[in-house]
Amino acid sequence: MSITHATELRLTARPDTDLREDHFELARTEIAPPADGEFLVRNDWMLLSVVMRELMEAEPHPDLPMSAYELGRPPWAPAVGTVVASRSSLFSAGDLVQHVYGFRDHVLAAEGDESFTKLDPTLLPRPEYHLNQGATAWRGMVTLAEAGPGDTVFVSGATTGVGAVAGQIARCRGAKRVIGSTGSKEKIGYLVDDLGFDAAFDYHDGPVAARLAELAPDGIDVFFDNVAGEQFEAAMALAAPNARFVLCGSLSGRNPALDLEPAVLRDVTIRGFTTPYDNDPAWIEHYSRWLREGRFVFPHTVVEGGLAAVPGALVGQMNGRHRGTTLVRL
């Protein structure tokens, strides 16, 4: 097999405030044929997430487990691809694999690289369904909050990749009522009609506390928070006894007047958690089954146009223009 011509997308400048498309540039590279123990992967899909914006900073938040993206190189990103040539005994041509070498259309891998996982192509309806953020949603909604029958569940930021899965997990586990908040009127229909939420509201439509009190007359048992600020405050005021609040992802900054007194008087548990990219077998098992049973929608937005479309898609994601997980078809 001869030299492969490949394309990668490099971060060339750190955004000072807003991210722009010209913070990236496409570059053409060459990849040598696999040597012994190596295999070549053609990337088919990559995932974009909001944490990537933070990793473009020279000094990302010190508590993040990932280091800053390097300038002049393609950043890491979750991706799914197909092995197209192999001199490894572990991976064969045709294998479907998941890894973290997005931002490029091909990658030459060594079989000792533990970031490559072989996928079972029969488990999910399509290869890109593996690039979901469900393990994070599962951790918050099931492992930590233990949402189940009888619970009134509120998900803020419910049209994000994590939020849209979290709400559906609660529904599939028999929650009494699942409520979502989002940032536009048209996304309300998406949550209720497409994803099966019982109710949804646009947080721009007046005080969140009043809107939420109408929609959750029995109080809130489980709150899956992607947003913080006013929505956290409103949920806390409505917390039911023994409520479980889970705080996911980065927050919208300081709360102007956060009152934790209800947490004391109503025995509320609040758990912050970070978002690992590892998959939880329990999540995959339920995801696969719920999809087969037609009870679950993989909430995602497909961006067409390959690597050239990635900078614009990152900007679109930061501006809330996508529904669910953002996936780029490479």
Shortest spacing between CB 157 and a copy of itself, in angstroms = 13
Q: How many residues does the chain have?
A: 330
The verdict on 272 binding a copy of itself (CB under 8 A) reads: yes
* 140 alpha carbon, distance to own chain's centre: 13
Q: Which residue, 34 or 140, is less far from a copy of itself as judged by CB?
A: 140
The verdict on 166 binding a copy of itself (CB under 8 A) reads: no
The verdict on 217 binding a copy of itself (CB under 8 A) reads: no
The verdict on 228 binding a copy of itself (CB under 8 A) reads: yes
Q: Which residue, 82 or 275, is less far from a copy of itself as judged by CB?
A: 275
Helices 208-215, 230-237: axis angle to 10 degrees equals: 40
Q: Which of residues 54-93 bind a copy of itself (CB under 8 A)?
A: 61, 63-64
Of 93-101, 107-115, 249-257, 292-300, the window that binds a copy of itself (rule: CB under 8 A) is 249-257
List the beta bridge partners of residue 235: none
Q: Which residue, 124 or 246, is less far from a copy of itself as judged by CB?
A: 246
- Please enumerate, as own/partner, the contacts of 318-321 that have beta carbons within 8 Å and a separation of 24 or more: 318/18, 318/19, 318/50, 318/53, 320/183, 320/184
Question: Which of 258, 282, 302, 308 is close enough to bind a copy of itself by CB under 8 A?
Answer: 258
Q: Which residue, 3 or 257, is less far from a copy of itself as judged by CB?
A: 257
The verdict on 114 binding a copy of itself (CB under 8 A) reads: no
Distance separating alpha carbons of residues 215 and 269, to the nearest angstrom: 22
Of 13-21, 35-43, 86-94, 260-268, the window that binds a copy of itself (rule: CB under 8 A) is 260-268
The verdict on 330 binding a copy of itself (CB under 8 A) reads: no
Distance separating alpha carbons of residues 46 and 328, to the nearest angstrom: 5
The verdict on 218 binding a copy of itself (CB under 8 A) reads: no
Question: Which of 58, 122, 217, 254 is close enough to bind a copy of itself by CB under 8 A?
Answer: 254
In one letter, which amino acid is 290?
W
**Rg of the chain on CA atoms, in Å:** 21
Contact in structure between 152 and 240 (CB atoms under 8 Å): yes
Of 32-40, 72-80, 189-197, 271-279, the window that binds a copy of itself (rule: CB under 8 A) is 271-279
Of 102-110, 173-181, 245-253, 307-315, the window that binds a copy of itself (rule: CB under 8 A) is 245-253
Residue at token pair 């996304």? 187
Shortest spacing between CB 245 and a copy of itself, in angstroms = 8
Question: Which of 264, 278, 281, 293 is close enough to bind a copy of itself by CB under 8 A?
Answer: 264
DSSP 143-188: IIT---TT-EEEESSTTBHHHHHHHHHHHHTT-SEEEEEESSHHHH
Q: Which residue, 259 or 285, is less far from a copy of itself as judged by CB?
A: 259
**Torsion 39-43-48-54 (CA) sign:** positive
* Among the listed residues 139, 91, 93, the one whose alpha carbon sits nearest the alpha carbon of residue 115: 91
Shortest spacing between CB 258 and a copy of itself, in angstroms = 4
The verdict on 176 binding a copy of itself (CB under 8 A) reads: no
Question: Which of 265, 282, 302, 308 is close enough to bind a copy of itself by CB under 8 A?
Answer: 265
Distance separating alpha carbons of residues 144 and 280, to the nearest angstrom: 14
Residue 250 three-state SS: coil
Residues that bind a copy of itself (CB under 8 A): 61, 63-64, 228, 232, 247-251, 253-274
